[in-house]
Structure 1
Amino acid sequence: MWSRAGSRRCNIHRRLFSGAARRIEDEGDWLYSPEWWGSESESEFNGNTVFRSVSDKGNGVISVHAYPSSRPNKVHWPETEKWLQQRYGEIYPGYEHSGSFKILGYQWRVLRFNDNTRQSTVKIMAAYRDTEPGSIFIMQQAQCLAIPYVKSMVSLGLSTIASSKYDLIAAVHGKKRMHILCIGHGGGSLPLFLASKIQGAEIHVVEIDPIVISASVQAMGFPGFSVMTPSGERALLEPDTINEVMWKGIHERLYLYETDAEKYVVENNNLYDIIFVDAYDGDDIFPNKLWDPHSPFLNSLSDRLHPEHGTVVVMRLRYLKPQ
């Protein structure tokens, strides 16, 4: 699969950049959307299905499709391999020379409901250690936000809270704790981006569908150590070696709960600085109880916000198909 992806990646790269007048630094730029958008036609290439299961939470068939990514260019892979090796040495001093990391490639992974609705898009890196060539691991690229509205949510939320005299810079540098709630998980690009960029961020994520959680961890490279049990404990007592290498310093601040958003908000006593609401069902519909002004959810939401600078960002837009 990876060798096939490599040849296709080169072709897409030529189509995207032939005649381009500028260099696109953002790997999540909408310019790259033709790489992962796919097609509704069975006769056209629509990615390789790497995850598929049926939801019992009203989301229908949940699947993850993989598409080759043109970036990062292969010339940059050794730099990332070196970073992985350095991380391994930092976590396990004295063992930094016991095997090397090798990158297999990069892919887009698209979470779909009912094979149609594109719920989330992330970029993943696939790699392995040469001492264990059969053990491939994937790592979601936290800096890459492929969906424009997700970038808008981040920009709007952070600019709003900064204008409310909240010391955002202190939170970014880990000198101040920032409590964030994300309602709706998808592939996890929003909470992972925030956790990677804001060192003081502690992020709680609420997702009603266990299949979505499984898809994000197994097929979209979201940190598995973030998953919580109903009792409020980590599902994994401790992360394995590879997850520590990839996510140490980040996954400890992510808490992914399988629960209903309304139930969580009504029964929880946590106070949040920012709440992001981005939740859709299998029919691409924003749940009524999350916007009904008389619902327990909205009536309780204000109690979960910091009284001075608490910020809520709600997204109810649909994708726009790339031209």
Structure 2
Amino acid sequence: MAAYRESDPSSIIVMQQPHCLAIPYVKSMVSAGLATLSCVNFDLSAAICGKEPMNVLCIGHGGGSIPLFLASKIQGAVVHSVEIDPIVISASTKAMGFPQYAVMTKSGERACLSPDPASEVLWKGIHERIQLHESDAEKFMSECNTLYDIVFIDAYDGEDIFPNKLWDPDSPFLRALGNKLHPVHGTVVVNLHSDVDLSDNNSSGSPVFHVLPMGKYVYNVCRAYKDMLLGHTSSRGGLAYTVSAPWVCNTSFVVCRGFGKSKDREFVLNSLLSKSLEVESMVGLPFTCLEYLKRGFTIVS
């Protein structure tokens, strides 16, 4: 949304709509993350009302739609967003309407000591609970002291590749993530791009996007997260699964601690679908979670 004073056309104020998640894969990530978190006895209703905190980490900021959405919908959400590229941060705050007051300095202080009057009108009660850090994800994870309830990862380099150090089992990042993820209900949602040629098995020449198959690269990423966060055996319980985002070549991978030891596909899927209806009602989602949870639902073994 953009507005300006009629007496001063140059006084343009841009505000990102916090309730809007325009991209299908982002809706998929949020749907899967909140439904899964609700399945492991995290009191989402208390967090929505602000009675309990909900610590959220977003790695890869983009335009900031996930941090804004969660902070606006969940009063107890405290959101840390980490972005390595200062150009992305600048574009987010100057061109995409993300609140400037959320930007943090290298020393961990707010870049703006106090919000300007316009920001107070637009974002009061929301921007105070968001921190946007310019940092390498590995460095941030090793230095932060927060125990996160849910983590969203959507980080790709300039060549559209998910960085190896964000999924290498021997990397400091995954070890630090395991230590900073809540041991009982901690949930991680990762956006992954399809690594298969969807037109290979389609004689018509038109790619089919209903269910994305899992190629070797995506599978290796999923296994690395599952093994590091849940352990190499199933004795600790937990769940790892993927769903396909509609209309785009993206897969949402979810790994969650504390889900239990059941690996029965129908039981797990029905549990998620049931909770998703509660999430839609409690959060007031402007879309249904169902189509983002049941498309290509696959348990990662």
Q: Is the TM value for this pair above 0.5?
A: yes
Q: Distance in 2 between matches of 1:142 and 1:187?
A: 11
Q: Are residues 1:320 and 2:248 paired? A: yes
Q: Distance in 1 between matches of 2:124 and 2:145?
A: 28
- For residue 174 of structure 2, the aligned residue among 281, 298, 302 is 298
Please report how far the alpha carbon of residue 129 of structure 1 lies from its aligned counterpart in structure 2 after TM superposition. Answer: 3.1
Please report how far the alpha carbon of residue 131 of structure 1 lies from its aligned counterpart in structure 2 after TM superposition. Answer: 5.3
Q: Distance in 1 between matches of 2:149 and 2:157?
A: 26
Q: Distance in 2 between matches of 1:131 and 1:168?
A: 45
Please report how far the alpha carbon of residue 282 of structure 1 lies from its aligned counterpart in structure 2 after TM superposition. Answer: 1.1
2:136 is aligned with what amino acid? Answer: D
Please report how far the alpha carbon of residue 186 of structure 1 lies from its aligned counterpart in structure 2 after TM superposition. Answer: 0.5
User: Can you list the C-alpha shifts for 1:228-265, whole angstroms capped at 9, x where unaligned?
Assistant: 00110000000111111110010000000000000111
**Structure 2 unaligned spans of 5+:** 195-246, 250-301
Please report how far the alpha carbon of residue 132 of structure 1 lies from its aligned counterpart in structure 2 after TM superposition. Answer: 4.2
1:242 is aligned with what amino acid? Answer: A
Please report how far the alpha carbon of residue 274 of structure 1 lies from its aligned counterpart in structure 2 after TM superposition. Answer: 0.4
- The residue aligned with 1:185 is 61
Q: Are residues 1:277 and 2:174 paired? A: no
Q: Are residues 1:139 and 2:67 paired? A: no
Summarize the alignment of residues 93-132 of structure 1 with structure 2, pairs less than 5 Å apart. Answer: 125-130=1-6, 132=8
Summarize the alignment of residues 133-282 of structure 1 with structure 2, pairs less than 5 Å apart. Answer: 133-282=9-158
Q: Distance in 2 between matches of 1:288 and 1:191?
A: 24
Please report how far the alpha carbon of residue 269 of structure 1 lies from its aligned counterpart in structure 2 after TM superposition. Answer: 1.9
Please report how far the alpha carbon of residue 133 of structure 1 lies from its aligned counterpart in structure 2 after TM superposition. Answer: 4.0
CA contact (8 A) 2:25 2:248 kept: no
Summarize the alignment of residues 62-101 of structure 1 with structure 2, pairs less than 5 Å apart. Answer: none
1:143 is aligned with what amino acid? Answer: H
2:170 is aligned with what amino acid? Answer: H
2:248 is aligned with what amino acid? Answer: L
Please report how far the alpha carbon of residue 317 of structure 1 lies from its aligned counterpart in structure 2 after TM superposition. Answer: 2.2
Q: Distance in 1 between matches of 2:164 and 2:23?
A: 23
1:210 is aligned with what amino acid? Answer: P
C-alpha RMSD over aligned residues: 1.4
Q: Distance in 1 between matches of 2:183 and 2:37?
A: 12
- The residue aligned with 1:309 is 185
Please report how far the alpha carbon of residue 134 of structure 1 lies from its aligned counterpart in structure 2 after TM superposition. Answer: 3.0
* TM-score of the pair, normalised by structure 1: 0.59
Summarize the alignment of residues 26-65 of structure 1 with structure 2, pairs less than 5 Å apart. Answer: none
1:262 is aligned with what amino acid? Answer: E
Q: Distance in 2 between matches of 1:313 and 1:267?
A: 21
Structure 1 segments of 4+ aligned residues over 2 angstroms from their partners: 129-134, 317-321
Q: Distance in 1 between matches of 2:145 and 2:154?
A: 21
- The residue aligned with 1:19 is none
Q: Distance in 1 between matches of 2:50 and 2:8?
A: 35
**Structure 1 unaligned spans of 5+:** 1-124
